[in-house]
Amino acid sequence: MTTRVGIREVAKAAGVSVTTVSHALNDATSFRVKAATQQLVRDVARDLGYAPNKMASGLRNQRSQILGLVSDEITTTPFAGAMIRGAQDAAYDRGYVVMVVNSGLDSELENREINMLRQHQVDGVVYARMYHQSVQVPAELEGLPTVLLDAVTNDRSISSVIPDEVGAAETAVEAIIQAGHSRIGMINNMDDIPATHGRREGFLNALRRHGLKHDPRHFVIGQAGTPGGREAGLGLLCQPDRPTALFCFSDRVAMGVYQAATALGLRIPEDVSIVGIDNLEIIADALWPGLTTVALPHYEMGRWAVNRILDDIENPGVPAAQTQLDCPLIERGSLGPPPS
């Protein structure tokens, strides 16, 4: 292993002082070095394979160029991957890098991990949740630029980015209506979280906008997972005046409805159309037929959060903002015209 090449080696090789090298490489500092010299230094640096030591420069400028990303639970869904990738891509574009920590539900551990991030002098922290929810940000983050990802908090002083739940549901239900349905059911989640309320509201909005009646018997509330969807689906679809289309709280719920429909001998979408939310590809692509669904913009939220935090860092004092991102419809094959 060759000994690391530092700025002094470059200086020596180029026959100039370290100051000149520094100026030549960070051309920011207004022209204190002749263009020719600058070029020379850069060539030498490249030839030597010089790479600046960010620990040293960070120490000097009090800026680590590192961002922290703390998340609750990252193993159960692929959403975490999308968020992390979005965050990391945005960070990379602006010369930053991301440190990921995750602590499950252990807030004691979370605090210690945030403390580690602080020790590494992270310039800011993205505080992420896997499911849109309301949180209280830990006191450990006090004084650090922070952005909430897929979460909101009472304290409006912290910027946050979340999916537009209402709009997502409206998009789904609009598509169902466009396909010609008028007897539309919904299977909602029973948890008291923003997603539950937002998607219900969007569902009702879309119906109202088209003058459709909302039949309370076609609106059921169940457990959020596949078994819950199966159960709710069985209940809904065995009714004689069953809905011709079902809007599901999530793709996993929709999978349960597929199972219910199959068990009842109903074909999708000929007998019943189904639309979900999440665009959980591993499920939506695998179902048969493919599940038409509304995508949650995890990747984009990750990007947005990092960009926002870097804006905050570079340009402090801009008031915090709560942002909602659009959720596009992803068409596969589970939405068709109603049976005649």
Partner DNA sequence: TTCCCTTTGCAAAACGTTTTGTTTCTGGTA
Partner DNA sequence: TACCAGAAACAAAACGTTTTGCAAAGGGAA
* Gap between the Cα atoms of 251 and 231, Å rounded: 15
Single residue of 61, 75, 154, 157 touching DNA by CB under 7 A:
61
CB of 206 to its own copies, least distance (A): 27
Q: In the beta sheet, which residues pair with residue 189?
A: 222
CB of 330 to DNA, least distance (A): 45
Q: Which does 192 bind (CB under 5 to 8 A by kind): its own copies, DNA, none?
A: none
Q: Which does 138 bind (CB under 5 to 8 A by kind): its own copies, DNA, none?
A: none
Task: Check if the beta carbon of residue 44 is closer than 8 Å to that of residue 84.
Answer: no
Helices in 264-316 by DSSP H: which ranges? 281-284, 298-314
Q: In the beta sheet, which residues pair with residue 274?
A: 246
Task: Check if the beta carbon of residue 224 is closer than 8 Å to that of residue 249.
Answer: yes
**Per CB under 7 A, does 315 bind DNA?**
no
CB of 145 to DNA, least distance (A): 18
Smaller CB separation from its own copies, 6 or 215: 6
**Per CB under 7 A, does 8 bind DNA?**
yes
* Gap between the Cα atoms of 154 and 324, Å rounded: 16
**Stretch binding DNA (CB under 7 A), from 2-10, 159-167, 277-285, 308-316:** 2-10
Smaller CB separation from its own copies, 35 or 139: 139
* Gap between the Cα atoms of 233 and 249, Å rounded: 12
**Per CB under 7 A, does 53 bind DNA?**
yes
CB of 19 to DNA, least distance (A): 4
| Residues in contact with 325: Cβ distance below 8 Å, sequence separation at least 6, in sequence order | 161, 162, 163, 164, 297, 300, 301, 304
Smaller CB separation from its own copies, 32 or 56: 56
**Closest CA relative to residue 166, chosen from 133, 130, 139, 203:** 203
**Per CB under 7 A, does 7 bind DNA?**
yes
Give the footprint of its own copies on this chain (CB under 8 A).
1-2, 51-56, 58-59, 64-66, 74-78, 80-82, 84-85, 88, 92, 97-102, 113, 115-121, 143, 225-226, 230, 252, 255-256, 259, 262, 280-283, 285-286, 288, 299
Smaller CB separation from DNA, 55 or 321: 55
**Per CB under 7 A, does 28 bind DNA?**
yes
Q: Which helix (H) or strand (E) holds 130?
A: strand 124-134
Q: What is the DSSP-derived secondary structure letter of residue 241?
A: T
Q: Which two tokens stand for residue 191?
A: 């948890």
**Per CB under 7 A, does 116 bind DNA?**
no
Single residue of 6, 235, 289, 290 touching DNA by CB under 7 A:
6
**Per CB under 7 A, does 33 bind DNA?**
yes
**Per CB under 7 A, does 25 bind DNA?**
yes
**Per CB under 7 A, does 46 bind DNA?**
no
* Gap between the Cα atoms of 116 and 131, Å rounded: 25
Smaller CB separation from its own copies, 168 or 254: 254
CB of 278 to its own copies, least distance (A): 11
Q: How far is CA 295 from CA 5, 150, 167, 172, 306, in A?
A: 47, 14, 11, 10, 20
Task: Check if the beta carbon of residue 101 is closer than 8 Å to that of residue 73.
Answer: no
Q: Which two tokens stand for residue 215?
A: 């039949």
**Closest CA relative to residue 44, chosen from 13, 81, 8:** 13
Footprint of DNA (CB under 7 A): 4, 6-8, 15-20, 22-23, 25-26, 28-29, 31-34, 37, 50, 52-53, 56-57, 59-62
